[in-house]
Amino acid sequence: MYQGSCLCGAIKVEIDGPITDIIHCHCSLCRKSSGTAYATNGFIQAESFKVIDPEQQLGYFERKEGRRRHFCGNCASPVYSSSSADPARYRIRLGILDTPIRERPISHNFVTSKADWEDLDAALPRYEQYEPSRNK
């Protein structure tokens, strides 16, 4: 079982099943809704997904009819997306998960729409914490 939570902890989720079709999406909508270069999304079965929301913080934004992006009304963390065209599956942002997952991304999608500063194959240095040049 996978577990996750929003940034403020008001909403918790449980997934009792696999996460499939994990991708790094570079489309402009995912970039805007995440505020990052891309969003890492995977699909889960709706029946295997449980939202624990005792404070009733779960809200949604419907950009297109039948396609909802569900988020925490307190901290605005994206929780999952649903579509009336495919009600048996939800799309989840993997960043909300607190537990390690077995599955791995299969591709970078919408790369022609990627941020102009994003270099998919960059050999950037990697640090366990902040970069050394950051003033703390």
Instruction: Provide the 3-class DSSP secondary structure of residue 70.
Output: strand
pLDDT band per the 50, 70, 90 thresholds, residue 119: confident
Q: Is the distance from CB of 41 to CB of 91 less than 8 angstroms?
A: yes
pTM of the predicted protein model: 0.86
Q: In what helix (H) or strand (E) does residue 28 lie, and over which residues does it extend? A: helix 28-34
Alpha-carbon distance 54 to 32, whole Å? 28
Alpha-carbon distance 58 to 79, whole Å? 8
Domain ranges of the chain: 2-113
Tell me, rounded to whole angstroms, the distance of Cα 101 from its chain centroid.
13
CATH fold for domain 2-113: 2.170.150
pLDDT at 72: 96
Going from the C-alpha of 30 to that of each of 68, 95, 115, the distances in angstroms are 13, 13, 11
Contacts of residue 89, Cβ cutoff 8 Å, sequence gap at least 6? 43, 44, 45, 46, 83
Beta-carbon neighbour count of residue 62 at 10 Å?
11
Average pLDDT over residues 35-39: 92
Query: Mind listing the pLDDT tens digit for each residue in 66-102?
Result: 999 999 999 999 999 999 999 999 999 999 999 999 9
Burial of 111: CB neighbours in 10 Å, binned 0-12, 13-18, 19+:
middle
